[in-house]
Structure 1
Amino acid sequence: MSEFVSPSEAALREGARWTLSLHHAPRGGVTGDLLGRGSGSSMEFHDRRPYSPGDDVRHIDWRALARSDEVLVRVHREEVAPRLDLFVDTSSSMATTESKAQRAVDLVAVLARAARAGGYAVRLVGLGDRVERISVEELLGEGLRFASKRPLHDLVAEAGGDARPSSVRVVVSDFLVPADPGRLVQPFARDAGRVVLLQVLSKDDAEPEAHGALRLVDSEHGGIREVVVDRSTLRRYAERLARLQSGLAEAVRRHGGLFLPARSDLELSGALESLARGGLLDC
């Protein structure tokens, strides 16, 4: 798909209705969830944490150092504002149908707006030909373009390295790649507050129908393969998809995260209700 896909009017409306329901692990200690909400540039003292190279020495707590010989820095409210790192797969496999591309864009738009309403600092990252930051304003105005030929697993290490410490991380993809689920999850889970894998599938992805002899074209590499799609083929496909989803769910669960499917052939409102039941959104 060469053109940009913009968020639908329904997505823009729904984005004002929802908030994220995920708990966030603050950078500064054990003082509670979402304490940075709405804090702006407040410099109110909030907590202490161990000194790390690069920290402003003006924030060192000298009294604590004198008492314990441990170098601590004073953490202010703005430093524990919740963070959402929202990663979206912009490969051409996400646009095998118009409804699939539209659903991916709509979900990303709803999540970005819901997070902002909840006081999150939102960073949107496209996983396409390269790892590329995209502004939320660009997303809401122009949309996303799904044209990359690079598979997701080529980019996860770099993408995970771009994530902010203790951020909530949501990865939007179909995850239909020949890669070990654990290897896909690990870069995103490292030093994360929470990780969510949001799998967007079209009806053909989730429930393909038998069509006899077909010529299949790889959406990313352009390779052609002729196959006979019969009941046996569909059964094997369903088993592989189930194993993939089970593997992703188990891999992210080991890091305290969530795996949530989202079908593009359902109404957007119904898909969002499903995500709310799964623990991602709240009214």
Structure 2
Amino acid sequence: MRPNPALLEQLMTAKLVPSLAQPSVGTGERRSRTKGPGIEFIDHRPYQPGDDTRHLDAYVMARSGEAVIREYALMRQVPITIVLDTSASMAEKRDVAGQIAQVFGFVGLAAGDRVQVAAPRGGALHLGPRLQGTQRAEILFDEIATAEAGPALDLTPLLRAAQSQRGLMIIISDWWDEGLAAQLPLAAAAGQEVLGIQLLAPIERDPTALGQGVMTLEDQESGAEIDVRLDSATLSAYTRAVTSWQQDLGQTFRRFSWHFLTLGTEDPLDDFFLRRCRGLGILT
């Protein structure tokens, strides 16, 4: 599993554009709100005993006689966490989901941000190493490609690890699990911005290909089976239910000033990243 090299080349100079997440860690390429030693001048403030005299502005002192310190913006990184859902319902969508995760992760690395992958290992969500720079891209790709099948996503460990960091969390899932949506307010309370990617198979978007008649359907998560009569009324009810669920999710994301995007496994990823994500201002 590897993303298209031509797509990565086109995204080499792209950058994720968070709505709320802040550059808060490391040394990077984004201007932070924190002041300190740096190269981008932003303001003066009065000199105070104990200040580093190397930051005194000699020109202002010569002109006004006042001792002032030059202040600079610290250039820092946005902490980005790529969360990959590998629960049972994602089994047939796993390869495409992994490629989406790899591309988003690569964009973060190329832009100088700090990227971590959260994917199931050993039956629990595992947070991988902190990575930065495109020279670490293969490590990121492998973290995603070797993720194991896991249970429904529990974001609690990630939110605990992300305390005090206003980071960006990109969750790639089919979002069929209502428990995942229920955790979004917790992510907001923890100061996280969530970019939700809903990935659906063609049959999930349009089940008419199943035909009509009595069929036994199996819940991929629980294994429970149910006999359903598929007819035009049932298929219409399904379409309404899916549309309503997506609208509810979208409203939740909009309430927090986040983005929620739906795509199918058959949709071209070039179009998704280069047109849709850029058109919505998610990527530069």
Question: Does TM-score exceed 0.5, indicating one fold?
Answer: yes
Q: Measure the CA separation in 2 of the matches of 1:206 and 1:34.
A: 39
Seen in structure 2, the aligned counterparts of structure 1 residues 127 and 239 have a Cα distance that, compared at 3 Å, is: farther
Match of 2:10 in 1: 17
CA displacement 1:198-242 (0-9 Å, x = unmatched): 111111111111422222222222222221222111111111111
Match of 1:225 in 2: 226
138-147 or 271-280, which deviates more: 138-147
The answer (yes or no) to whether the contact 2:87–2:221 under 8 Å persists in 1 is: yes
Q: Measure the CA separation in 2 of the matches of 1:92 and 1:115.
A: 28
After TM superposition, the structure 1 = structure 2 runs for residues 37-116 of structure 1, keeping only pairs within 5 Å, are: 44=38, 77=74, 80-95=76-91, 97=92, 100-116=93-109
Match of 1:201 in 2: 200
Match of 1:175 in 2: 175
* Percentage of matched positions with identical amino acids: 19
The answer (yes or no) to whether the contact 2:16–2:108 under 8 Å persists in 1 is: no
1:241 is the counterpart of 2:242: yes
RMSD: 3.1
What amino acid is aligned across from residue 25 of structure 1 in structure 2? Q
What amino acid is aligned across from residue 124 of structure 1 in structure 2? V
**Relative contact order: is structure 1 or structure 2 higher (C-alpha 8 Å, sep ≥ 6)?**
1
Segments of 5+ residues of structure 1 without an aligned counterpart are 1-5, 37-41, 48-60, 65-73
Match of 1:161 in 2: 160
Seen in structure 2, the aligned counterparts of structure 1 residues 179 and 238 have a Cα distance that, compared at 3 Å, is: farther
Seen in structure 2, the aligned counterparts of structure 1 residues 279 and 76 have a Cα distance that, compared at 3 Å, is: closer
CA displacement 1:67-95 (0-9 Å, x = unmatched): xxxxxxx99836x3222111111112112
Shift of residue 46 of structure 1? 8.5
The answer (yes or no) to whether the contact 1:25–1:166 under 8 Å persists in 2 is: yes
What amino acid is aligned across from residue 280 of structure 1 in structure 2? I
Q: Measure the CA separation in 2 of the matches of 1:123 and 1:75.
A: 28
What amino acid is aligned across from residue 92 of structure 1 in structure 2? A
Seen in structure 2, the aligned counterparts of structure 1 residues 109 and 195 have a Cα distance that, compared at 3 Å, is: same
Q: 2:128 aligned to 127, 134, 159, which one?
A: 134
Q: What SS does structure 2 have at the residue aligned with 1:126?
A: strand
Seen in structure 2, the aligned counterparts of structure 1 residues 203 and 76 have a Cα distance that, compared at 3 Å, is: same
The answer (yes or no) to whether the contact 1:214–1:227 under 8 Å persists in 2 is: yes
Q: Measure the CA separation in 2 of the matches of 1:161 and 1:256.
A: 22
Q: Measure the CA separation in 2 of the matches of 1:108 and 1:235.
A: 32
250-259 or 17-26, which deviates more: 17-26
14-23 or 165-174, which deviates more: 14-23
212-221 or 134-143, which deviates more: 134-143
Q: Measure the CA separation in 1 of the matches of 2:243 and 2:49.
A: 56
Shift of residue 256 of structure 1? 1.3
Q: Measure the CA separation in 2 of the matches of 1:127 and 1:253.
A: 28
Q: What SS does structure 2 have at the residue aligned with 1:16?
A: helix
Q: May I ask how many residue pairs the two structures share in their alignment?
A: 236
Shift of residue 43 of structure 1? 6.2
After TM superposition, the structure 1 = structure 2 runs for residues 258-277 of structure 1, keeping only pairs within 5 Å, are: 258-272=259-273, 273-277=275-279
- Using structure 1 for the length normalisation, give the TM-score: 0.72
Shift of residue 186 of structure 1? 1.4
- Using structure 2 for the length normalisation, give the TM-score: 0.71
1:122 is the counterpart of 2:115: yes
Seen in structure 2, the aligned counterparts of structure 1 residues 206 and 127 have a Cα distance that, compared at 3 Å, is: farther
Q: Measure the CA separation in 2 of the matches of 1:123 and 1:77.
A: 22
Q: Measure the CA separation in 2 of the matches of 1:224 and 1:83.
A: 42
